[in-house]
Structure 1
Amino acid sequence: MTTTHAPGRVCVLGSANVDDVREVDRFPRPGETVFARSRTRVPGGKGLNQAIAAARAGAATALRARIGRDEEGRMLRAAAAGAGVDTAGMLEVPAATGSAAILRDGAGENSIVVAGGANAAFTELTADDLAAIAAADVLLLQGEVPVVALEQAAVHARDHGTRVILTPAPVQEFGADLLSAVDLLVPNEHEACALAGLEDPRAAARALTATRRRVLITLGGRGAALVDPTGTVQEIPSVPVRAVDTTGAGDAFCGALAARLAAGAELPEAARWAAAAAALSVTREGSATSPAREEVEQLLDRPPV
């Protein structure tokens, strides 16, 4: 059975992109051309995806992002607002809205190339950004905006008692000041290995538990593993589903995780809840397709088969 918690406050600081998705039978080899079965343009970007996921999971969610003064920026603002996200922090800058080119194969796997656009202009936090961070229970960060903004946000959050979660995707040169302010690091297995310089994901996660930080490493269809600073590993099981599109599954996981932690759930329970949310998200097409709170609770309350 799931446990009911009061809604919490989540501030997401990160990217907002328009995803250009092309369906292919298989990924092209270098120098090869393949035909796409279809093409769609949908809202995306790790920051936007995670904010939508947190809002749908029941948190009062604010997104701090940078978008262009263009049709794409208006599309992203409307998508966030439609999911119940506070969009006052989606500020317009003189640059094109960020975009991502996504290839998705017949197995639901994806390959992504991001053009930062307005996201790259997120190099300084406003007074309103700082106030939103201080007012939140959880600050959720990712690697698709400049590290200088992430560092300023994380240090401000730490100084004001806001819990900091970092998804190090894509992996950048995250400095010591940023990492020391992070309470929970949530990499996938490839990101964990890249950050730690190791080949084994669980060994990499143990190496990343510096400054008494906990690490929750996502393992795709194999679930997740929670590692504490003592090196103890707690396995978080996956929820078996038929995957249609894995784009944004990690963002669904992180947004739901932040929402449950903000509501007062303990980390293992929040991680199990997030795993269920991520499982539901891959049964739908698109990167901003996180399930509603009620859907996740119904899945978790379903008797095992």
Structure 2
Amino acid sequence: MNKLLATAAVTAALLGLAGTTQSQNKKTLAFVVNGASDFWKAAEAGVKKAQTELPNYTLVFKYPEQASAAIQTRIMDDLVAAGVAGIMVSAVDPKTMGDALNRVGGQVALFTTDSDAPNSKRVAYIGSSNTDAGKQAGQLMLKALPNGGKCMGFVGLPGADNARERIEGVKEAIKGSKIELVDVRADDIDQTRAKRNVEDTITARPEINCMVGFYSYNTPRIYEALKDAGKIGKVTIIGFDEDPITLGGVKDGTIVGTVVQQPYEWGYQGMKDMAKYLEGDKSFIPANKLIIVPTQIIDKSNVDAFWTTLKERQGKK
């Protein structure tokens, strides 16, 4: 009953929002993420910046209660029912959400980010090349482990394209070397489970001397579990994204490096591009419908400069 009431309340609020914006001749654009993670704060900051430059639109940012394809689909359906004009989404599981994404894409302008759904009715993808990001992580592994090593990977949603492509990129980069990605443990964006996966690996796989966190929160959970076990400095850590714990580890040398994306640009550029599209301008969409925002390797040499820029964009001191 509580879930039904909560859903009804969300729908009512969205319908009220749509009525207000329509009365002001404003269209609503929504950014829907795949789970509650600090990673998305930068994208949210980008959306807020875009709002200052799009006075004729109302921009909303939606976090699902949990990383569930069903919940994310419900949020998008509610937004469509409320009259939004466009949705940008990081799909929880593009392969199982095909019908839902096509239904949404048939009614509003649908863009994907972070994890693409190329077989859906999406207009375009705006985000990283996750394969290239995986290759960059592989480069960090090769540099840090010149004599080889056995690595365990940790990820949230193994079925999502971003996870699969990052893993494939790592494997391609380390192919032919003495480094092996032994396995990848999944956690469905459950923070407790993410740390437990690392703890289980420490206990059951003592030969593992390298750990790779494929999602933003995975590297902090690796760091915490290794610290609790007294193994910081004994296991090589490679990360993705810019969690403060990850950046702190890069700064003090306990984490080799991290491959960062630009979620701020996804939010900022994505909302502006969606508005262009709705206004009839499709010139920014390439033939392959992939708008790639480059990733970057952050190590001890450039972490301070990167962190300063990140804080400025998020309005932090």
TM-score (norm 1): 0.37
TM-score (norm 2): 0.35
Q: Which has the larger share of helix? A: 2
Q: Would you tell me which structure has more strand in proportion to its own residues?
A: 1
